[in-house]
Structure 1
Amino acid sequence: MSQTLNADPQELAKFSELAHRWWDPESEFKPLHRINPLRLDWIDRLATLKGKRVVDIGCGGGILSDAMARRGAAEVLGIDLSTKALSVARLHAMEAGTPHVEYREVSAETLAAERPGEFDVVTCMEMLEHVPQPDSVVRAAAALVKPGGWVFFSTINRNPKSFLFAIVGAEYVLRLLPRGTHEYARFIRPSELAGWSRAAGLDWVQTRGLEYNPLTDRYWLSDDVSVNYLVACRKP
């Protein structure tokens, strides 16, 4: 794993500027609030969160971390490199009285060196496409999970359709996200993520697509991984 900080200062600044809006369900983070029940239920069906030790890589303001703690996880550690986002996450946990969740400003690689094999579940959602070395994060996730544990990723495929839907459609036409949220060159093909996962010693168990219909304003999971997709892996 890289000893340099695997982060893009521009990406950190971008999300830090919006940190105070993380928990506003009508803000720029509205899509995350809308898809959170879908991804939470999917993770829980496969890994059964109750009583598990979980680390959420790239937790931002804690939307998924908070939900997993409320679902019954014994311990949820949300990690991120955005000081402002973590402050918002801690404040929300305190105000909402969320049990068994804490947040720490640390990279996945550093935590993996400190606490290898300590977690039953590792999540890294909507984060890989924002870092310079996503394969390094995959290796860190694999190091953090214990044998038999689960690792979950979600990201965006790289193809003409994803450019049209995730950037042109979501950022410019529908304005679901601020312009500049994503860079097409950083999108990740499933074959690339599969290669990194296998190299890190993870077995792919399931892949799901995440779709959105702007006419009905509905999100759902499907078998179509051509744009947004989620991956469940397991460590032998």
Structure 2
Amino acid sequence: MSTILNADPAELAKFSELAHRWWDMDSEFRPLHMINPLRLDWIQSLCPIAGLRALDVGCGGGILADSMARKGADVTGIDLSTKALKVAQLHALEAETPRIAYREISAEALAAEAPGSFDVVTCMEMLEHVPDPASVVRACSDLVKPGGWVFFSTLNRNPKSFLFAILGAEYILNLLPRGTHEYAKMIRPSELASYCRQAELDVQQTSGMEYNPLTKRYSMSADTGVNYLFATRKPI
């Protein structure tokens, strides 16, 4: 087995520098706080998570992991950013979040250690930050039980997403720090669908997410041109 870590040191450093701001609702992570209820409700609509074992891959400061635990799931969050995990752990302690644990481990390493251990696996806003996204998709498939759900969200790669997600969000509206996303690392839905098929995950549903700069609100939509989500399932 390869010992090469599927992570970009520059990406880890970038998010580590901002780690202390994960739970500041007015910080660079405000968009994640704004979209979190939408993606959690979408997950819940397909797979009610109360009482299930859930894994959040690339959990960062724990925004999604924490909210899943509060919905009754037994949650493990994993990431390779030491600082972000410390923030997540501290927040869980301060907020007295039940049924949650964090580990500094890659998806691939955990898949080798504990395959088929989770009912639900989430991997949100993470695939566009790693050198080999297909490897993460395979690991997520290995980690989920037969019949279990795996949810992904990422950014499309096309002129519209460059305009909205990079120029608009990072340079004009200042919703995100400049350099958050690299256009070349964005993933077309057709590419993610291919990764899923190769990993024996069946795509059950797709959804888009849009931002309205006038109302300053996000909403789920049928438009997968920029931000999009995949709900996939491991065959029994």
| TM-score when normalising by structure 2 | 0.99
Aligned length: 235
Separation (CA, whole Å) in 1 of partners of 2:3 and 2:145: 22
Give CA deviations for 1:16-43 in whole Å, capped at 9, x if unaligned: 0000000001000000000000000111
Q: Which residue of 1 aligns with 2:118?
A: 119
SS in 1 for 2:215: coil
Separation (CA, whole Å) in 2 of partners of 1:119 and 1:186: 28
Q: Confirm whether residue 176 of structure 1 aligns to residue 175 of structure 2.
A: yes
SS in 1 for 2:139: helix
- Shift of the alpha carbon at 1:2? 4.8
Separation (CA, whole Å) in 2 of partners of 1:68 and 1:82: 20
Q: Which residue of 1 aligns with 2:154?
A: 155
Give identity over the alignment, percent: 74
After TM superposition, what 4+ stretches of structure 1 lie above 3 angstroms from structure 2?
none
Q: Which residue of 1 aligns with 2:47?
A: 47
- Shift of the alpha carbon at 1:137? 0.1
Q: Which residue of 1 aligns with 2:25?
A: 25
Letter aligned with residue 224 of structure 1: D
Separation (CA, whole Å) in 2 of partners of 1:213 and 1:99: 34
Q: Which residue of 2 aligns with 1:66?
A: 66
Separation (CA, whole Å) in 2 of partners of 1:115 and 1:44: 24
Q: Confirm whether residue 108 of structure 1 aligns to residue 107 of structure 2.
A: yes
SS in 2 for 1:64: helix
Separation (CA, whole Å) in 2 of partners of 1:27 and 1:203: 36
Separation (CA, whole Å) in 2 of partners of 1:64 and 1:194: 23
CA contact (8 A) 1:2 1:136 kept: no
| TM-score when normalising by structure 1 | 0.99
CA contact (8 A) 1:2 1:109 kept: no
Separation (CA, whole Å) in 1 of partners of 2:108 and 2:59: 15
List alignment gaps of at least 5 residues for structure 1: none
Give CA deviations for 1:114-143 in whole Å, capped at 9, x if unaligned: 010010000000000000000000000000
Separation (CA, whole Å) in 2 of partners of 1:87 and 1:28: 18
Q: Which residue of 2 aligns with 1:4?
A: 4
SS in 2 for 1:221: strand
Letter aligned with residue 56 of structure 2: D
List alignment gaps of at least 5 residues for structure 2: none
Q: Which residue of 2 aligns with 1:220?
A: 219
Separation (CA, whole Å) in 2 of partners of 1:3 and 1:13: 20
| RMSD of Structure 2 on Structure 1 (CA) | 0.7
- Shift of the alpha carbon at 1:3? 3.5
Q: How does 1:69-148 map to 2 (within 5 A)?
A: 69-73=69-73, 75-148=74-147
Q: Which residue of 1 aligns with 2:15?
A: 15
